[in-house]
Chain A
């Protein structure tokens, strides 16, 4: 197991992404930050917090479970469902989806379908802590913490203080099996 980002790297990446979001969207009005269950959720909360620090005003953040929208239900055991709670109406807003690792793109596709059933945002953007390549769908991230080229046999894991014992991004060699 190799650590490629430590907790200081993660914090810096989130701060930079917060600035980029504000720059791209010319401010924080109409923004809602939505984290994809599981580790996208704490990242979204932290990102919303960073943006609020910079702007001096709170930014709504929510959580999205994509279990009911997956395209691989027939190849895995049933996954238990997490909560989907977005505190504001997403119609006409800019939704920034947040996830920890962008890989095949299938999770994001499912998240876009889930959002479509919840409303009609004006714009959807994507922020990820790590982009590890190997896209299977035409999906790209608007904001990336770190690009980490990997081979298919490797496994990238993100640990966050609020959920795990420590914080950082790790690569594990020779791990068979997908994450989306």
Chain B
């Protein structure tokens, strides 16, 4: 594997290999010295053109746990304001000597362009509403830890699917691992055309709520969809929020996941967020391990492709 850009092209063996390695890295993270020398001397650059503190920190922690050095680029203080193009920014950072780039950008396909411009592995940290593969991998790892695997699991993805790169990455990764996925959202927030997607859809959460083993909640992204995608936050919570009442109707073993950051009181009630069946903090820990796994698989050996 040369780059990690999308979950659409990862087959089952590839995903399981990444998750198996992530399990080993979880062990490393729990040791007294939570560090291994595998990527010593290598530099990982995070280029986050869209604001994100948490994902960037997760990648930095992952790189450091592998003994790599990190560099981070953030646009607010940068030369982009002076009119430098993305390509020149990337080439400049590359010329400083980096061994891997993690790129997050609001434009679809940005990570693919970067991969064309440099000769080091590239990880897509999120491009537009398109893909965010490491998020999907950590979600799959979290579910696998709880259920042993994803075969036959019924998973609901609830919320602004139309504008969600997390949802798109999850759909393809989880389906590859054998899960049955249903997208649940008001019509304005479902993708326009899901032909060929391995999913079912529904516009009514209450009708189908009790069927699921995993409920994955998305945030309503005002900044991506534009103001007029849903009438009001209160209405959203009323019809699609994971309220305490809905939580009580779930099967006893059903778990709730969320990619973060959560908006308590809209897509998830505070009580639900604090319930032991809500695995959000586990997701965060798994995120570091999964990113260690991605970095190790891309940099811990000569490229095979």
Q: Is B202 an interface residue (CB 8 A)?
A: no
Secondary structure dominating the interface of B:
loop
16 A-B pairs within 8 Å (CB atoms) are namely A65-B24, A67-B38, A68-B38, A68-B300, A69-B36, A69-B37, A70-B38, A73-B301, A74-B302, A76-B301, A78-B296, A78-B300, A78-B304, A84-B24, A113-B37, A119-B32
Q: Is A163 an interface residue (CB 8 A)?
A: no
B-side contacts of A165, CB under 8 Å: none
Bound: A84/B27 CA distance, A: 8
Other contacts beyond A69-B37, A77-B303: 5, CB < 8 A: A74-B302, A75-B302, A79-B301, A80-B17, A81-B296
B33 lies within 8 A of A117 (CB)? yes
Chain B residues within 8 Å of A67, by CB? 38, 300
Query: In the assembled complex, how far is the CB of residue A118 from the closest CB belonging to chain B, in whole angstroms?
Result: 7
A84 — which chain B residues lie within 8 A by C-beta?
Answer: 24, 27
Q: Tell me the chain B residues, 209-249 only, with Cβ under 8 Å from chain A.
A: none
Which of A's residues lie within 8 Å of B, judged by CB? 65, 67-70, 73-84, 113-114, 117-119
A79 CA / B17 CA spacing, docked (Å): 10
A77-B301, A78-B297 known; A117 and B31 CB under 8 Å? yes
- Complex Cα spacing A51 to B298, Å: 42
Interface residues of B (CB under 8 A from A): 17, 20-21, 24, 27-28, 31-33, 35-39, 66, 296-304
The chain A residue sitting closest to B297, CB to CB, is: A78
Which partner residue on chain A sits nearest B38 by CB separation?
Answer: A68
- Residue numbers in B under 8 Å from A73 (CB-CB): 38-39, 299-301
A9 to chain B, nearest CB (A): 34
Is A68 touching B304 in the complex (CB atoms < 8 A)? Answer: no
Q: Is A117 a contact of B296 with CB atoms below 8 Å?
A: no
Residues of B within 8 A of A80 (CB): 17, 20-21
Contact present for A68 and B37 (CB under 8 Å)? yes
- The answer to whether residues A81 and B301 also contact, given A73-B38, A117-B33 and a CB cut-off of 8 A, is no
The 10 tightest CB contacts between A and B, nearest first, are A78-B301, A68-B36, A68-B38, A81-B24, A77-B301, A78-B300, A77-B304, A81-B21, A117-B33, A73-B300
Q: How far is the CA of A76 from the CA of B299 in the complex (A)?
A: 11
Q: Tell me, rounded to whole Å, the shortest Cβ–Cβ distance linking B69 to chain A.
A: 16
Partner of A81, one of B20, B35, B37: B20
Give A79's nearest chain B residue, CB to CB.
B301
**A132 CA / B32 CA spacing, docked (Å):** 36
Closest to A71 in B: B37
Alpha-carbon separation in the docked complex, A77 to B297 (Å): 9
A118 near B304 (CB under 8 angstroms)?
Answer: no
